Structure 1
Amino acid sequence: MASSTPSSTPSSTHAPTPAPALPALRRAPAHPRLAHAAGPLLVLAAAALWGTTGTAASFAPGAASPLSIGAATMGIGGLVTLALAGRSALAVLRDGRAALGWALLGALNVVVYPLAFYTAMDFAGVAVGTVVTIGCSPVFAALLERLVDGTGLSRRWLAATLAAVAGCTALVLTGDAEAGGDRIPAGVALGVLSGACYAAYAYCGARLIRRGHSSRATMGALFGLGSAVLVPVFAATGGGLVGEWRGVAVTAYLALVPMYLAYVLFGAGLARVTVSAATTLTLLEPVVAAVLGVAVVGERLGGWAWTGVGLVVVGLLVLTVRRRRQVS
């Protein structure tokens, strides 16, 4: 979900600070309005694609385990990401001990994240599992930035996050209890774990981008390393998934669209916004997941749950709609 001296990336959610002249930041759009719009929009596009994962996974064969789906998504998608990044990903790993350390730490979280995330959705339902994962990730991201970088968080970010997390809480408390039954508490716990891992590998990726590596190279390095573990997990557990053409189609979609394409968009967004802002923007994911879970999967959400969806949207608007005088 690195230089020895922490640095800040430009973000609409933090007070203005001098931007370090790093190659990754110099590639951002030069015009301030374009620079502001690009980062949040890229992250929101990635979040919308991620919101389709639970619904897509629901079409997998009944014999497919959530571990196999998670390992296939991030393992195969990670290999594609690494292949398209090419030598630039290897350059990340050769950029000294500090960069290698951040890459290995990020890869570890890349491995744990999908296994916990898809199991959380299997136990607690698509909407609840997604909401818990993404809803708690801004908290972990804020803690990482504050503890490691000493970054302060603006009132605007706090207001946006409170609104969005309140919406996520409403979704969890009023979600489809029939989806998971007695397994819901375990699903929620796994959702918290996957949210922490998501924030952690996002932070590690941001640290590597700040060193001057491109977002594609950074994502290729993290997910390429992660695939070294996830592909063997998929080989051991994926028989029920790829035993039918339907499972092959689900695997291909998850690996190429919400994994490869979405993480390329997310990595590009990380070059323009802070990790705490990015993880808050990805709260769009549970909104998409909840809508698709009801419309396609057949999960049931009551009035309070839809109120929660509305609060998440409000939080996103607070975070992304910048006042004209701030842009100027």
Structure 2
Amino acid sequence: MTPAVWALVASCVLWGTTGTAASFLPEAVSPLAVGASTMTLGGALLFAVSHRAALGVIRDRAVRGWLIAAALGMVAYPLSFYASMDLAGVAIGNVVSLGSGPLFAALLEWRVSGSRLTRRWMLSAGIALTGMTLLVVGGHGDDSPVDAASIPAGVALGLVAGAGYALFTFASGIVIRRGHSGRGTMGAAFGLAALPLALVLIVVGAPLLASASSVAIAVYLAVGPMFLAYLFFAVGVRALASSTVTVITLLEPLVATLLAVLIVGERLEPLGWIGLVLILAGVTVLSSARQPRSRA
């Protein structure tokens, strides 16, 4: 594997620990607070270590629209991602959020770059959507800590997270390919996203400060899965297409699912496992089969 692929693998392993780490927070801590704190602290760190390059990206009017789009994607992603895991469970929240990413990434490439969606692509998308439906219908059993009634809302928020992630990946990739460094682009996008999320943190973040363990978990989520993981991510996204990136990041829901079952105690029904496998298989075939062609 190339260094870019190894960098993405490292980021996926770090991302895969987010749900399990967040599950140890007290119930009083809102998932919005977790998402906002992770992005605010991690975004500030990313901006700090790359402030010169990040400011150069921000000042470049030619890419400012795409930079703002990437930042908006990163505002939506952490809030809906952690809320999805809170409602649907770590396994389902991760799989839907990341599994839907390639669908939205391909749609963006189709609408913006003129990539053609083939029949094989549509079949693959149908397989993935069928898997998501199975997860909603028969995801968790009675012995699982997840309330089955909250799964549909969690899946819907996971789709929002997937759209936000795809927007960030697509837009930041354009900024990087137009001559800016990966670190500068990450620092600029995350720094801008941290501003509105800091306001969310001020409103709902008080319970995070109630105990030292909560603060420690929040710091880990900001430094590990956010700061370090996205430095690795910047290496990968510079060299790979956005649809390829979203396929490789399917390692994250696999890691997250294993941790959810082994550590958190979640139990998926057979129908849920089938749905999970269909999502991963459908999305993998989706991106490997799609042959984008530019109108130009």
What range describes the TM-score normalised by the shorter chain of this pair?
Answer: 0.7 to 0.9
Deviates more, 1:302-311 or 1:213-222: 302-311
Q: Does 1:41 align with 2:6?
A: yes
Residue aligning to 2:50: 85
In 2 relative to 1, CA 138–317 (structure 1 residues): closer, same or farther, beyond 3 Å?
A: closer
Structure 1: unaligned runs, 5 residues or longer: 1-33, 322-328
Residue aligning to 1:193: 160
What displacement does 1:202 show?
0.9
Whole-Å separation in 2 of the counterparts to 1:43 and 1:165: 25
Whole-Å separation in 2 of the counterparts to 1:166 and 1:247: 37
In 2 relative to 1, CA 192–313 (structure 1 residues): closer, same or farther, beyond 3 Å?
A: closer
Superposed CA offset, 1:173-231 (max 9, x none): 44225513322211111111111011001111101101111111000000000011111
Task: Describe the SS at the equivalent of 1:63.
Answer: coil
Q: Does 1:267 align with 2:231?
A: no
Q: Does 1:293 align with 2:257?
A: no
> Aligned-pair RMSD on alpha carbons?
2.6
Residue aligning to 1:119: 83
State the percentage of identical aligned residues: 47
Tell me if structure 2 keeps the 8 A contact 1:93–1:103: yes
Residue aligning to 1:237: 204
Task: Describe the SS at the equivalent of 2:100.
Answer: helix
Structure 2: unaligned runs, 5 residues or longer: 289-296
Task: Describe the SS at the equivalent of 1:92.
Answer: helix
Task: Describe the SS at the equivalent of 1:145.
Answer: helix
What displacement does 1:298 show?
0.6
Task: Describe the SS at the equivalent of 1:300.
Answer: coil
Whole-Å separation in 2 of the counterparts to 1:287 and 1:161: 19
What displacement does 1:50 show?
1.1
TM normalised by structure 1 equals 0.78
In 2 relative to 1, CA 146–316 (structure 1 residues): closer, same or farther, beyond 3 Å?
A: closer
TM normalised by structure 2 equals 0.86
The one of 166, 178, 196 aligned to 1:211: 178
Matches within 5 A, 1:103-252: 103-152=67-116, 171-176=135-140, 178=144, 179-252=146-219
User: How many residues end up aligned between the 2 structures?
Assistant: 285
Superposed CA offset, 1:227-247 (max 9, x none): 111112112211111210111
